[in-house]
Structure 1
């Protein structure tokens, strides 16, 4: 009898086993973009995903001196229930106290609104004009207008943090994503409404502001009034189906006009065009007077690269005639000038126009 009681007592002290997970039909994944570590483009993200199984942390680089971050019910003494609030905090960024900062571990980038940057007294010239694509939950894409690096203070730690700038809805001034969370070695908890992170002087924490979080949520849920655009009547433009060639001066200055014009309208149009022949560029010599302030052709050559000498290409007699005729026309018009170079610069490239010439 004593033996049986002892057996039952040992069975009662055995901890219950964890039940197996329920069966699943498929796995649904979601990946957000915008991280320089995870890849800012599809090709970079594809390469990082392919290397994930290879890049494993080594035990000799792990820092075991980092204190353990724990959460318990005592951390929730300030939490107002019931709540499904996001974690919204305030931080000194640059020389300003920035409120309405969302801690979002679902974001692959630290995001700052353009309006926040302007309120900090910083101009768009202070940021780097580098654009990346941020991908939202439903697949919508948003192009950034630039990026900026600013010191961000958190309980004694001052980290240089890179922010991407977007011109969008300023519900939150800043959204702190995984780059900042990982640099801080922090663990956020919306359940406890607190962010904990290790420092040389022990574990520090930043408590979320639920009233601000709920105000931001209310603002994001406000319906957007979309004014219906007034429909403007569409004017149907119909062009002539057939064109007729008209010689304005008798010396091969020809234009195309509609073939279905009335006799009076055609005569008036031809007279109007004839009195304004100087408005047309009939040849190369007619466009030599364009001011460099209007347009200038320039070759951007990088002097740090070694010039490459192309091998001279020989053309057939027919192509040589085309090249010579064009060069002579340009020389006659004063658009080109003859210069002797000891080496070939580039070969002529002949491109056929739509009119077959």
Structure 2
């Protein structure tokens, strides 16, 4: 008598299901739009805990390759001079102009009990935002964002957590 074996991946999924430990999926539904004024084309702006402070007006930008910090936040965090390291790569603003850089600073961003350290490029230019979080932060935490639903969701401690835009 022969026994057919499932591929290792399917076998693993079966054993997780049997133990009740299936990984939740991250997704958005119409329910996630409740409380959001529709229609809209708003950017996703959230409040994040950066270096122990609740920082408002943080833009979540999937198209950006680096985290950016603007002067007001940088001054407000009162960093030590040695916290800022040199950063010599050019950075171009939304208007296509080269931006003056002050340097780079590594800071923790905390959501609930989850903490990820990221490198912010400190710029010397005006913005209505205090900071921009980009793909490095999104990928490190496994964040899935939706401007339509005005939320970010991520998996932590076996469940889906979310941050609602403001």
* TM-score for both structures, normalised by structure 2: 0.80
1:115 and 1:167 in contact (8 A); partners too: no
Aligned residue number for residue 63 of structure 2: 106
CA distance 1:109–1:71, shift in 2 (3 Å):
same
CA distance in 2, matches of 1:82, 1:161: 33
Please report how far the alpha carbon of residue 180 of structure 1 lies from its aligned counterpart in structure 2 after TM superposition. Answer: 0.6
Q: Deviation string for 1:81-101 (max 9, x for gaps)?
A: 231111000011012110000
Q: Deviation string for 1:147-173 (max 9, x for gaps)?
A: 111111012211111111101113100
RMSD: 2.0
Aligned residue number for residue 78 of structure 1: 35
Q: Which gives a bigger RCO, structure 1 or 2 (Cα 8 Å, sep 6+)?
A: 2
1:150 paired residue among 107, 126, 134: 107
Structure 2 runs not aligned, ≥5 long: 1-8, 14-21
Q: Deviation string for 1:199-221 (max 9, x for gaps)?
A: 12311000001xxxxxxxxxxxx
Please report how far the alpha carbon of residue 117 of structure 1 lies from its aligned counterpart in structure 2 after TM superposition. Answer: 1.0
Higher strand share: 2
State how many pairs are aligned.
147
Aligned residue number for residue 147 of structure 2: 190
Structure 1 runs not aligned, ≥5 long: 1-59, 210-357
Aligned residue number for residue 4 of structure 2: none
Aligned residue number for residue 17 of structure 2: none
2:138 and 2:144 in contact (8 A); partners too: yes
CA distance in 2, matches of 1:73, 1:145: 43
Aligned residue number for residue 73 of structure 2: 116
CA distance in 1, matches of 2:117, 2:23: 21
Q: Deviation string for 1:312-344 (max 9, x for gaps)?
A: xxxxxxxxxxxxxxxxxxxxxxxxxxxxxxxxx
CA distance in 1, matches of 2:91, 2:113: 31
CA distance in 2, matches of 1:98, 1:106: 21
* TM-score for both structures, normalised by structure 1: 0.39
CA distance 1:122–1:180, shift in 2 (3 Å):
same
1:184 and 1:197 in contact (8 A); partners too: yes
Please report how far the alpha carbon of residue 125 of structure 1 lies from its aligned counterpart in structure 2 after TM superposition. Answer: 3.9
CA distance in 2, matches of 1:139, 1:167: 15
CA distance 1:81–1:144, shift in 2 (3 Å):
same
Aligned residue number for residue 134 of structure 2: 177
3-state DSSP of counterpart to 2:78: coil
